[in-house]
Amino acid sequence: MSAPAPIDAPSPNFDSRTAPPDMIVLHYTGMPTGQAALERLRDPEAKVSAHYLVEEDGRVFALVAEARRAWHAGVSFWKGDTDLNARSIGVEIVNPGHEHGYRDFPGAQVAAVIGLLSDIRTRWTVPDAFILAHSDVAPDRKQDPGERFPWRTLHAAGHGLWAEPLAAPGEPLGPGDEGVGVFALQAALKRLGYDSPPSGRYDEQTRILITAFQRHWAPHRLDGVADGETRARLMGVLRAAAGYDLGLATEAH
């Protein structure tokens, strides 16, 4: 899928990278209009930015050069790294978000995002396992682009990880639970990339991380309870990530 020609809309909010980007973080704007978001991302007083903004009608605005470090991820974590702005390309997707009337992402917008990702990945080596949600890397404070974002559609177009295994047996794991099952769940979250030191106690942080995982990969529930489907999807995504890490992924999605 070809990418639409970006519209130049330079933002002054950037600084230098220390290494080539190998990650893409997807956001929603979370503001009433796309114009308001575009203005904020270009406001030097706001001190926030992204590399691109994708409007609902499919227009793409280029704000910061990919070779520069935009300010979009904020306080974040993935696989032990806490300076994700330095290694990522940030894409803001216009949507009012949970606070202003969260809604589905239009087809033209999703097609533009897919085209943009395809274009970006011709220039930089970005593994599918490193195409992430803002809520993945900042789960305690962000929920974008949220459970309505069509991650499965992105995966079908060749971008990002997805898994739809059969549900795992057993009772759900949730807040207050303890034991080996909880330890294994936390270890799996940590292996995927979340900040999840295994303790064997299903604490509030574990609930937050499971909710973040559900927003991206298991949107059948968003309560932070690891039922059989959530656990099976976590294992499936881990297997997919391992396949990409080992160079074993095929073109079949």
Residues taking part in catalysis? 92
Based on the number of CB atoms within 10 Å of its own CB, is 129 exposed (0-12), middle (13-18) or buried (19 or more)? Answer: buried
In angstroms, what is the C-alpha Rg of the chain? 18
Look up tokens 């962000």; give the residue.
Answer: 142
Q: How far is CA 187 from CA 104, 182, 202, 226, in A?
A: 33, 9, 12, 14
Q: What is the largest CA-CA distance in the chain?
A: 54
With CA atoms as reference, report the closest residue to 47 among 69, 65, 20, 32: 69
Question: What's at 142, amino acid-wise?
Answer: K
Please give the helix or strand (H or E) that residue 60 lies within, else none.
strand 60-62
Would you tell me the crossing angle of helices 180-192 and 204-217 to the nearest 10 degrees?
A: 50
Secondary-structure percent of the chain, ordered helix, strand, coil, rounded to 5: 35, 15, 50
Q: Is the peptide bond before 32 cis (omega within 30 degrees of 0)?
A: no
* Number of Cβ atoms within 10 Å of the Cβ of 200: 16
